[in-house]
Structure 1
């Protein structure tokens, strides 16, 4: 059993979780990451082409690039990574470690736990409710905009009337050949100024309309659109389809809350600014944590991660230093620095 017990298990593989794993490695802790998605990166995957300006010491960076860099950094000290696995419960039946139960039925064991599941838990896009829609996913049916260049000179249909849908229509209008946006209601729900901009950009808006069919060969070629009021259906050719129907939130970890964590609105952990929760050995970082003065930025998630790791370190080893040596002088990087410098 001892070889299967980790010093710290990080639940969540977004920016806070990845930086927690990096910093835990820096502190020579045996580390594991468990994430419910099929790949690391967290919610940033929902907006990979959006520019992030508010991280200190770096120029504006596309969210997708930030994901790649965050993953590389998070894996610096080779933590074990478990994907497609949702944590459903944490319990402490032993004085030395926690038992972490997952949706797959597997159990993981850890001396400390850092929760970094983001605000509201795992978020999944609401899929297009059409039988064969899945055949065109990752081809030309999208639930996020993966790469702006693929939309150059394309005829695009966007379904959804929220801020995100309208925002993508406006962002893509300078490069697309033609954009149509459809919404099931009477009026788009985005901000009035953004809708006005949409019209100025020449985007065609169809309300009271929904996608009722998609067809094609290797790629989607035709989309059936039905008018809610008249029931009339028409078929149109599109190069790309972007679906923005909102997101489902799933947080099985807090559903039972057998540990008795102090929660806010059943989705957020109430903790100290140091990441310490009311349960000894359980810490939190990133958007899932709530405390006075909390900064809901990726930059703030990094600070949360450092605090959580430092306190996890002293929890399992009270004689350890509260803080790690800064990276510029830390012996943990000596060999890595030599490779980079020479």
Structure 2
């Protein structure tokens, strides 16, 4: 059954970039719908990094992922968009009048004039540890994300991985845990240089090592065996908690069949955030273009550009961008109402 109403913009993906894009679409006075496939908004941050401190957003000294999502969600609702969670978009059809019909995996249909994809890496899940019996410990002390810092208080924590998230988790847990040991297959670590330097200063770093065996009692991992990839030497380490960050697998699902140009599993866009299909735009981690800035701050720039392009697509004579928020009459009315309540 087709949902009532034709929307100017449908934002697919309710992570930070999708939420801010939805807010800005309201500033441009576009009838907006946001669709998220998971039950909750916030995307990867909600799923994997709710307690991670974010410090790469201008003017924000530091904020947890959960608090950032909370504020973005409140901001996104400023102009009363339609927000739908738990629906996975799969099929796309174009009508004779140029509008789109979006069909979900469970049969819901959404009608829209333009689409902005802010789907990140798509439907994602952590790459799980490929060791015998690992799944047995997933409900105890084997973790694929750091959801609550207090879980690790006064624990001897081993982190396996060397990407940005592994580095950040190590730094976040240093003041909580009894000890932090990080093993990585290579000498080089991902992430910002300062964060890597801080981790190396405060944590026990073992490279080039990989996990080879988990030794447990009842349902808890008590020891792990690690192997030096250069010498072949094996060592046993006592652990209270194991955190595995070996990457995330993403999948765009049915969107892969839309005919969008892809490069390195990302949608190719130009400087206006336009894809190769007229009326479909994209922003955030889902896109690639020269000199792409892979930060939330970069996505906060791309989302409004995509909205401005959508507005121009719908109304060629419209202004190229919205006025500043301090001059936006409708936004000032909303903020004024908040102050009086």
TM-score band w.r.t. shorter chain: 0.7 to 0.9
CA drift of 1:215 comes to: 4.6
Change (3 A) 1:92 1:237: same
In the aligned structure 2, how far is the partner of 1:201 from the partner of 1:309?
A: 44
TM-score norm. by structure 2 comes to 0.77
In the aligned structure 2, how far is the partner of 1:196 from the partner of 1:57?
A: 23
SS in 1 for 2:79: coil
Answer whether contact 1:210 1:228 (CA < 8 A) is retained.
no
CA drift of 1:98 comes to: 0.5
> What does residue 212 of structure 2 align with?
209
Once the two structures are superposed, residues 123-152 of structure 1 have per-residue CA deviations (whole angstroms, 9 ceiling, x without a partner) of 31124574544544xxx6532222334422
In the aligned structure 2, how far is the partner of 1:196 from the partner of 1:22?
A: 36
Change (3 A) 1:210 1:161: farther
Change (3 A) 1:190 1:214: farther
Unaligned stretches of 5+ residues in structure 1: none
> What does residue 74 of structure 1 align with?
76
In the aligned structure 2, how far is the partner of 1:286 from the partner of 1:160?
A: 24
> What does residue 332 of structure 2 align with?
334
- The residue correspondences of 1:236-247 to structure 2 (distance < 5 A) are 238=240, 240-247=241-248
Answer whether contact 2:213 2:224 (CA < 8 A) is retained.
yes
CA drift of 1:282 comes to: 0.9
SS in 2 for 1:7: strand
Displaced runs of 4+ in structure 1, greater than 6 A? Answer: 203-206, 226-229, 234-237
Q: What count of residue pairs does the alignment treat as equivalent?
A: 326
TM-score norm. by structure 1 comes to 0.77
Change (3 A) 1:199 1:210: farther
1:262 aligns with 2:261: yes
CA drift of 1:117 comes to: 1.6
In the aligned structure 2, how far is the partner of 1:25 from the partner of 1:72?
A: 13
In the aligned structure 2, how far is the partner of 1:287 from the partner of 1:14?
A: 10
Once the two structures are superposed, residues 20-54 of structure 1 have per-residue CA deviations (whole angstroms, 9 ceiling, x without a partner) of 11111222322221223332112334334444333
1:122 aligns with 2:123: yes
Answer whether contact 2:35 2:84 (CA < 8 A) is retained.
yes
In the aligned structure 1, how far is the partner of 2:182 from the partner of 2:272?
A: 45
Cα RMSD over matched residues? Answer: 3.7
In the aligned structure 2, how far is the partner of 1:250 from the partner of 1:83?
A: 18
CA drift of 1:320 comes to: 4.1
In the aligned structure 2, how far is the partner of 1:336 from the partner of 1:90?
A: 35
Match for 2:299 among 293, 298, 301?
301
Change (3 A) 1:199 1:338: closer
Change (3 A) 1:109 1:195: same
- The residue correspondences of 1:246-257 to structure 2 (distance < 5 A) are 246-257=247-258
